[in-house]
Structure 1
Amino acid sequence: MKNYIKPSEWNIVEEGFDPHLNKISESLFSIGNGRMGQRANFEEAYTGDTLQGNYVAGVYYPDKTRVGWWKNGYPDYFAKVLNAANWIGIDIKADGETLDLNTAKVRDFKRVLNMKAGYLERSFTAELQSGKVLRVISKRFCSIADDELAAIRYEVVAQNFSGTLTITTAIDGDVKNQDSNYDEKFWEEVSKGFQAETAYITLRTKKTNFEVCTATNTQIQLNNKAVGAKAAPIEKEKYIASAIELPVEAGDTVTIYKYAANVSSQNYDKAALQGAATAAIARAVEAGFDALFEAQVAAWANKWEEGDILIEGDVAAQQAIRFNIFQLNQTYTGKDARLNIGPKGFTGEKYGGSTYWDTEAYCIPFYLATAPQEVAKNLLVYRHNQLQKAIENAEKLGFKDGAALYPMVTMNGEECHNEWEITFEEIHRNGAIAFAIYNYIRYTGDASYLASHGLEVLIGIARFWKQRVNWSAEKNKFVILGVTGPNEYENNINNNWYTNKLAAWCMRYAKEAAELVKAEDASRYEAILKQVNFNTQEFEDWTSIADQMYYPYDEKAGVFLQQDGYMDKEQMLVSELPAADRPLNQKWSWDRILRSCFIKQADVLQGMYFFEDEFDTETLERNFKFYESRTVHESSLSPCVHSILAARLSDEEKAYEFYLRTARLDLDDYNNDTEDGLHITSMAGTWMSIVEGFAGMKVRDNKLQFNPFLPSQWQSFSFNIGFRGTQLKIKISSAELSITNNSSETVAVSVFNETFDIAQGEKKISLKALSL
């Protein structure tokens, strides 16, 4: 675990430059705006260890898979969000000597990610090998007010010499993904050039033929006066730059403003890309850096007004939750239903930047409560739009009659993950998508979504489950064989409790959804059944299977079993593991992991989190204690569920421990993998840990319910949520819960099962009185 990020409520701060930590910091200090983003690479040349990364949302390449042998049903490719043109480059030479922090003596290095205003600032003093000293202060942001734009202000002071500074600003499209399977470069040049002072380059992806035009405009001042010298153009393959030589005296300050735009053929005709990019640059130049920055500050103020969480008395916890919320908002804004949330967002290339079940299981609750309703709805529409692809994915595996298997990994709806135990067996992802539809309707009350989009998806998923079960004569039950649950430390097992539970629930919910649509809009109901060639006998089949589903259970321990045969494994506790053996996925062979009882993330607890109302406290507690002691949390998605359930069991110590673990997973590099990129989707679980865990928020009987408690390390905590047209601020202290309704509409809220009508304004509720 690393511990070099300084405590700060609104900032991520690194003081001092350690090149061994640089790739971790490149991830932590990443910036983005939902349409594009970048790792915190240096603007100037750097020859040390780095992972250069600039990304444009939705633009991907089908990289040829790399497997030793093939199986029927394997995808041909693994879709990857591409490392796109690097637009930040500002190379500095002092009398021909390159500024490079890998070779210079670096002093007073400081890097700050300001989360309140949405910008990255870096400052340092560098002594070159010649003895020349430069002082640099840079500031940059990707605008969320105008998501085609980004800007840099880069100041250089010649501290102890007079001479010539050579400034080269570039767009470098000659890039490749670190995870390219065959070291292939995925971009081809279409065109490049200059239009007045604006440089542009248009690149096209191989195979998928996306085109992205990147344009930049550079303006230079010397001691706050514009420099009139003409820059010399430089053009190479997939590279365009301009260079200027500037005489400086000791103490002079050179300020470089670099504006950038990224536009893609997703949003413009290819013939119009260059014009769109240069028009965006013209907007930026006309506004100027300061005005663009003011718009950025205002836009982020609106984001924080909707979704901030304030923790009093615990700076580490406060910094962590804001970091997670900040990165979620940088990754996805919900403006475009063609986009989704990659597990690494715009911070790295691991997992290909593609869509996983994480979105439905973890991210939906965050966006439901902290963004306009359309944002979460667009995440659901994304899956609806890919329903036909899900049906085709199922057909490739032998399913028929409209059965839909959503992919484990995708960009366009096609499965593009080819590890057999994942692609073929981690089928619980279907259940997460169905649950997200239910969760959206439960929270928003928008049952019309079933008729417009949801029912078709639910029918396809239920049809899949019907064909995926087997009747076991021995058990006299329906079983599901050969699966992998969320716990990927057990593969090809039978009757994973979580998978069986989800399958039965999905079939029941699909039938219930159909009945709702029929009651509300009979003509639409008939149209859907006709469209999907539905036979109402299917309803009876689904109910029969769900009623006779088998669930493994251990009578002696009184717990639901991960899967058949789990108790045949040698039962050890995580507390018995030597520290040198952790993390298991980096220290043990896969064979040893599969034979052990240790769990990457507890499937049973995930199911009990989804369906909490079905289990009494004693059952939840038995299962929690059993599985928590065997779980190594080597999935980033694991600690948040444990934190929420521990909070519901009033286990303050565990709830707080797991909150900090999930919230500071990347900030403290718990799993030694932050350098690959941040765990964006699990960050939504951090929000859940506070709002659903410590505040105990849920929706029951169409109203919000809170069962709060305050961690002893905190004086209070508060958060904002939107719920069915109302905007609420919730504040929880040891003595009371305060609800401020910022809307004119009265809303009913339940606290410890007592209902209160909250009119506009603030209402304080004594928690001590309710707990008596």
Structure 2
Amino acid sequence: MKDRFKIDEWQIIEEGFDPTLNKFAESVFSLGNGRMGHRANFEETYSGNTLQGNYVAGVYYTDKTRVGWWKNGYPEYAAKVLNAANWIGIDIKIGAATLDLHYCKVTAFRRVLNMQEGYLERSFIAALKDGRQVSVNARRFYSIVDDVAGAIRYRITPLNFEDNLVITPFIDGDVSNQDANYGEKFWEEVSRESDNDRAFITLRTRKTNFEVCTGMQVNIVQPGEAGNTASRFIEKEKFIGRETTLWAKKGEEITIYKYGVNISSANTPKEELTAVAKASINKVAAKGFEQMLEEQARAWAQKWKESDIVIEGDVTAQQAIRFNIFQLYQTYTGEDPQLNIGPKGFTGEKYGGATHWDTEAYCVPFYLATASPKVTRNLLLYRYHQLGKAIENAAKLGFDNGAALFPMVTMNGEECHNEWEITFEEIHRNGAVAFAIYNYVRYTGDQDYLAAYGLEVLIGIARFWSQRVNWSEQRNQYVMLGVTGPNEYENNVNNNWYTNTLAVWCLEYTLETIGWLKQQRPEVYVALAEKLRFHEVPETTKWKHIVEQMYYPEEATLGVFLQQDGYMDKEQVLVKALPEKDRPLNQQWSWDRILRSCYIKQADVLQGIYLFEEKYAEDVIRRNFDFYEPRTVHESSLSPCIHAILAAKLGEEQRAYGFYLRTSRLDLDDYNNDTDDGLHITSMAGTWMSVVEGFGGMRVRNGDLHFTPFLPVKWESFSFNILFREAVLNIKTSKNGVVLSNRSDKEVCIHVYGNAYHLKAGSVQKVATDVSFAH
């Protein structure tokens, strides 16, 4: 675990330059606006430890799957997000020497991510080998107002010399991915052009044929007389820069304004890319850096008004939750139903930038409560529009009759994950898609979605489960063989409790939805049944039989659900007995050793208990929690948040708080020693869940909100905002009680500690704290 950044409510602050931790810092200080983003690479040249990364949403490459022995059903390719043209670069030469912190003596260095206003600022003083010193202050951001644009203000001051300064802002499309084979390049140049202070390059991806036009405009401001200033464009394949030479005087600050745009064929016709790029660069340059920055601050103020969580008395916890919320909104805004949420967002290449089950299981609850319902609806529509591909994916594995298997990893609906134990076996992702539909409908009350889109997806998923199970003559029950549950430190197991439980729930929910649609909108049901060739009686008869006769593994002597058949055959050595040198296991142990151990990567049985909590008595939840948590190494970013919520449910304040800190500061403190290659964006939604569903105890039952809040010992108070069925609510918990504020013109019923309160528009209700929830 690292302790690198200063604790501040609204900022992430790095003081002092440590080259060995630069990639870690590049991830933490990443910027984005939902449409594009980049890692916190330096503007000027840096030859040290760095991972360059600029990313444009929706643009990817299909790399051919390479395996030692081909298996039927394998995906044809492994998709990856591409490192795109680097538009932020500004080369600086002082005389003949290049400003490069790798070769400089850095005597002062400070980097600040201002989360309140949405920008990154870096300042330093550096001495070249010959003793000449410069001071630099650079501020940049991706606009959430003009979401195709970013802007940089770069100030440089000679401290002890006068000399020629050669400034070359550039666009460099000659880039590759870190994981490219033998330095393989994925971009080809289509065109480039320049005029006055503007330049544009259009690049095309190999295979997938996406095109992106990247443009820049540069303005250089020097005090007093410009002196001997000369400019020229430098052009070569996939590169264009504007070189300006000027005389720099001691103590006089020179300011470089650079505006950049990325226009993608994912949402703009290819023949219009350059024209749109020119219009966009003209628009933002006409505004100027300061106006854009003011607009950015106002836009972020509105986002914080909707989604902020305020924690009083614990700045470490406060900084962490805001960092997580900030990165979520930098990654996804919900404006484009073609886009989804990659586990690394715009902060790195790992996991290929593709869509995983993380979206439905973790991100949907966050966006449901903090944004317009259309944002979550777009996430669901993303899957609906890929239903045809899900049916194709299932057919490749031998399923028929419209059975749908949504991919574990995807860019466009096709499976593109090439590890067999995931591709073929981690099928619980199907249940996450179904649960997201249920979650959306119960939260919003939008039954129209079920009728128009949801049931069609549910039937495809139900058909898959009905074919994936098989009847065991020995048990006289249905079983599910050869699966991988959420705990990926187990592969190819039989009867994973979570997967079996989720499959049955999916069948039950589909049956319930069919009954509702037949009764409420019979004409829609008839049309849908005809479209899907749905034969209700034979199909639903089998579904009901599976529901009644599914096998669930249990350990009766301990009174716990068994993660899978044979789990108790493993040597039961608890995590606390593991030597520190063995952690994390995935970086220290062989895969064979991990698979033979009892150690759990992330919540598995407990994931199911989290989803279906209302089905289980508290003593059942406690027994399972107390059994599985001591065996869990939490080496998935998705793990601590689920444990925090369940610990809070059980009134385990100390454990809940510990898990909250772990999930919320996972990247800031680099708990798993893996932040170098990017942040864990999707698990950040779990951090929000830890506060709202954990300490706030928020649940939705029978169309109403329920809360059972309690206050962690270290906190003086905490409050959060909730958007629920057009009502805007603020829930504040302190030592003096709970304050419910209805900040909308809609009346709403809220349940706190089991008591109902009807909040009229604009009203405030005070409730005494129930101390039984604070033990």
For the pair 1:451 / 2:413, whether they are aligned, the reply is no
**1:196 shift after superposition:** 3.7
1:418-469 CA-to-partner distances (Å, cap 9, x unmatched) read 1000000000000000000000001111111011111110000000000000
Task: Report if aligned partners of 2:708, 2:773 keep a CA contact under 8 Å in 1.
Answer: no
Q: What is the rounded CA distance, in whole Å, between the counterparts of 1:368 and 1:664 in structure 2?
A: 23
Q: Secondary structure at the match of 1:644?
A: helix
**How many Å separate the matches in 1 of 2:8 and 2:595?**
41
Residue 560 of structure 1: aligned partner: 561
The secondary structure found in structure 1 opposite 2:456 is helix
Q: Distance in 1 between matches of 2:25 and 2:562?
A: 41
Matches within 5 A, 1:186-585: 186-223=186-223, 229-537=229-537, 538-585=539-586
Distance 2:720 2:644 in 1: 18
Change in Cα spacing, 1:224 to 1:283, as seen in structure 2 (3 Å) is farther
Which residue in the other structure is 2:15 paired with? 15
Structure-2 separation of matches of 1:730 and 1:609: 22
Deviations 1:643-672 (A, max 9, x none): 000000000111000000000000000000
Three-state SS of the structure 1 residue aligned to 2:126 is strand
Alpha-carbon distance in structure 1 between the residues aligned to 2:501 and 2:457: 19
| Structure 1 stretch displaced more, 477-486 or 60-69 | 60-69
Aligned-partner SS, 2:288: helix
2:508 maps to a residue whose letter is R
Q: Which residue of the partner structure matches residue 125 of structure 1?
A: 125
Q: For residues 227 and 732 of structure 2, what CA distance do their matches in structure 1 show? A: 53
**Hey, what's the Cα distance between the residues in 1 that align with 2:767 and 2:106?**
55
The superposition leaves residues 225-277 of structure 1 with CA deviations (integer Å, 9 ceiling, x where unpaired) of 87894521101110011101010111111100000000011121111100100
Cα deviation, 1:689-729, whole Å, max 9, x if unaligned, reads: 00000000010111000011100010000011100001001
Show the counterpart of 1:629.
630
Q: Is the 8 A contact 1:709 1:734 kept in 2?
A: no
Give the deviation of 1:770 after TM superposition. 9.2
Counting only pairs closer than 5 Å after superposition, residues 150-189 of structure 1 correspond to structure 2 as 150-181=150-181, 183-189=183-189
Cα gap change, 1:627 to 1:163, in 2 (>3 Å): same
Which residue in the other structure is 1:673 paired with?
674
Structure 1 position 735, deviation (Å): 3.0
C-alpha spacing 1:224/1:177, structure 2 compared with 1 (3 Å): farther
**Residue equivalent to 1:763:** 765
Aligned to 2:699: 698
CA distance in 1, matches of 2:37, 2:228: 32
Partners of 1:328 and 1:680 within 8 A in 2: yes
Task: Tell me which amino acid in the other structure corresponds to 1:675.
Answer: D
The answer (yes or no) to whether the contact 2:215–2:261 under 8 Å persists in 1 is: yes
What's the counterpart of residue 617 of structure 2? 616
Matched position secondary structure for 1:164: strand
Shift of 1:103: 0.3
1:24 aligns with 2:24: yes
Measured at CA, do residues 173 and 649 of structure 1 come closer, stay the same or move farther in structure 2, by a change above 3 Å? same
- 2:606 aligned partner: 605
Letter in 1 for 2:726: G
- Would you say the 8 A contact 2:230–2:246 is kept in 1? no
Give 1:66 deviation, angstroms: 2.8
User: C-alpha distance in 1, partners of 2:549/2:14?
Assistant: 57
Q: Could you tell me how far 1:540 is from its partner in structure 2?
A: 1.7
1:451-506 CA-partner distances (Å, limit 9, x unpaired): 11111100000000000001011111100000000100000000000000000000
2:576 is paired with a residue whose SS is: helix
Shift in Å, 1:520:
2.4
Give the AA of the match of 1:221: V
Of residues 750-759 and 381-390 in structure 1, the stretch that sits farther from structure 2 once superposed is: 750-759
Q: 1:253 to 1:541 in 2, by over 3 A?
A: same
**Contact 1:508 1:546 (C-alpha < 8 Å) held by counterparts:** yes
Q: Under a length normalisation based on structure 2, what TM-score does the superposition of the two structures give? A: 0.98
Mean Cα deviation higher: 650-659 or 179-188: 179-188
The answer on whether the counterparts of 1:85 and 1:173 sit within 8 Å (CA) in structure 2 is: yes
Conservation of the 8 A alpha-carbon contact between 2:189 and 2:204: yes
User: Residue 82 of structure 2 aligns to a residue in which SS?
Assistant: strand
Give ranges in structure 1 of 5+ residues lacking alignment.
none
CA contact (8 A) 1:64 1:181 kept: no
Q: Deviations over 1:107-146 (max 9, x none)?
A: 2100000000000000000000111100000000000011
TM-score, length of structure 1 as denominator length: 0.99
Shift of 1:543: 1.2
Distance in structure 2 (CA, Å) of the matches to 1:106 and 1:620: 54
Provide the C-alpha distance between the structure 2 equivalents of 1:87 and 1:488, rounded to a whole number of angstroms. 38
CA distance in 1 between counterparts of 2:227 and 2:682 reads: 45
Inter-partner Cα distance in structure 1 for 2:77 and 2:434: 26
Q: Report if aligned partners of 2:494, 2:565 keep a CA contact under 8 Å in 1.
A: yes
Number of the residue aligned with 1:735: 736
Q: Distance in 2 between matches of 1:267 and 1:180?
A: 26
Q: Distance in 1 between matches of 2:524 and 2:481?
A: 36
